[in-house]
Structure 1
Amino acid sequence: MEKICISQRKADEIKAICNEFGNDPGELINILHTVQGKLGYLPKEVQELIALQIGVPASRVYGVVTFYSFFTMKPKGKYPISVCMGTACYVRGGEKVLDEFKRQLSIEVGQTTVDGLFSLDSLRCVGACGLAPVVMVGSRVYGRLKPADVKGIIDEFIELEKEA
């Protein structure tokens, strides 16, 4: 894994977040959620700083980060795409939708586009089985998708970037 350097400003933000939760080891998941919300991911150096700040072994922080699929140790794209591969979504064509995202974005699951706009992941269940197959882009849910819908979804977010 590539080593990153945390700026003093980022380190101070991380320490402040830990302080907001009273540096309580019982608040580790909340701390990790908040820090990932600020930084976008939880690299090893960030995990070590959190561990030091709340007084737990770095291995405990790493264990939580790697156990829960919500947490990531790699930077995600500005628009993270998650394709549901749960039973209902899979049976109704989720794999074909995932393949089309891979083709359109020229990336594999777990990768981020060169421009940093999109990252691609698959999930086990979004909890919207009635809309299968389902894709989430950030917190936005798209349902009853077909491979032909993928380009339009990608274009929608590219347009957002042009407007920004």
Structure 2
Amino acid sequence: MTENVTGCNCCEELTEQEMLEQLDGLIADYLDKPGGLIPALQIAQSRFGYLSESILKQISSRFNKSYSEVASVVGFYSFFSTVPRGRYVVRVCLGTACYVRGGKEVLSSLKKELGIDVGETTEDRQFSLDVGRCYGACGLAPVIMINDDVHQRIKPTRLGELLKAYADGQIEEPCTTDEMGDAG
């Protein structure tokens, strides 16, 4: 059985086999470079939205590493995900300044608004919810990030309209296949 998965969630729907076929081309430049594994994993996750078991197996094979070694690298870094993520990853800062200035209330409001808990994704795969420990905007606390967009001085009462703007496409993330950023 072949399941359909969505790449970066704004690109075409791909089967698992199509993802594996694209993977070699995406990581080819990193195969012989020292330290190339992590950039290859980042590129694969950026393109496909997460790192499935079959993707990890193919990467481990191409890098001549054991599956357990590659899986342990993925497990060590919190920015890698082995489960499908939402099109928009919402990260709530719970560093000291954000926590003191209402980050906990923002998180509670997001859980209620999205109907999910931390580490989960909405059924429509629009949003995933995570927490972080500092986004470097302490003077603007509380802060959330939605993908790479930083939103400051967040009020729990305004979260609904912010999420709706993303869901309705009023705020759109660019879709690239070579982006090195954290996709979740």
Q: TM-score, normalised by structure 1?
A: 0.89
Structure 1, unmatched stretches of 5+, are none
CA distance in 1, matches of 2:21, 2:42: 17
**Structure 1 CA distance for aligned equivalents of residues 166 and 110 of structure 2:** 13
Match of 2:47 in 1: 38
Which residue of 2 is the match for residue 47 of structure 1? 56
- Which is further off, 37-46 or 12-21? 12-21
Q: Deviation at 1:65?
A: 0.7
Number of the residue aligned with 2:160: 151
Paired position in structure 1 for 2:149 = 140
CA–CA separation in structure 1 for the residues paired with 2:147 and 2:16: 27
Give the aligned partner of residue 134 of structure 2. 125
Does structure 1 retain, via aligned residues, the 8 Å contact 2:31–2:37?
no
Instruction: Give 2:17's aligned amino acid.
Output: Q
Task: Give the Å deviation of 1:22.
Answer: 3.1
Q: Which residue of 1 aligns with 2:177?
A: none
Contact 1:25 1:55 in 2 (8 A): no
Match runs of 1:54-93 below 5 Å? 54-93=63-102
| More displaced stretch, 14-23 vs 40-49 | 14-23
Q: Percent identity?
A: 40
Aligned-residue offset at 1:4: 6.7
Q: How many residues align?
A: 160
| TM-score relative to the length of structure 2 | 0.80
Alpha carbons 1:25, 1:56 under 8 Å: kept: no
Segments of 5+ residues of structure 2 without an aligned counterpart are 5-14, 173-184
| 1:107 match | 116
Higher relative contact order (CA 8 A, sep 6+): 2
Distance in 1, matches of 2:52 and 2:136, equals: 29
CA deviation profile, 1:114-163 (whole Å, cap 9, x unmatched): 111111111112122121111011111101112112112112112217x9
RMSD over aligned Cα atoms: 2.0
User: How many angstroms apart in 2 are the aligned matches of 1:8 and 1:160?
Assistant: 29
Structure 2 equivalent of residue 15 of structure 1: 24
Task: Say if 1:23 and 1:53, in contact at 8 Å, map to a contact too.
Answer: no
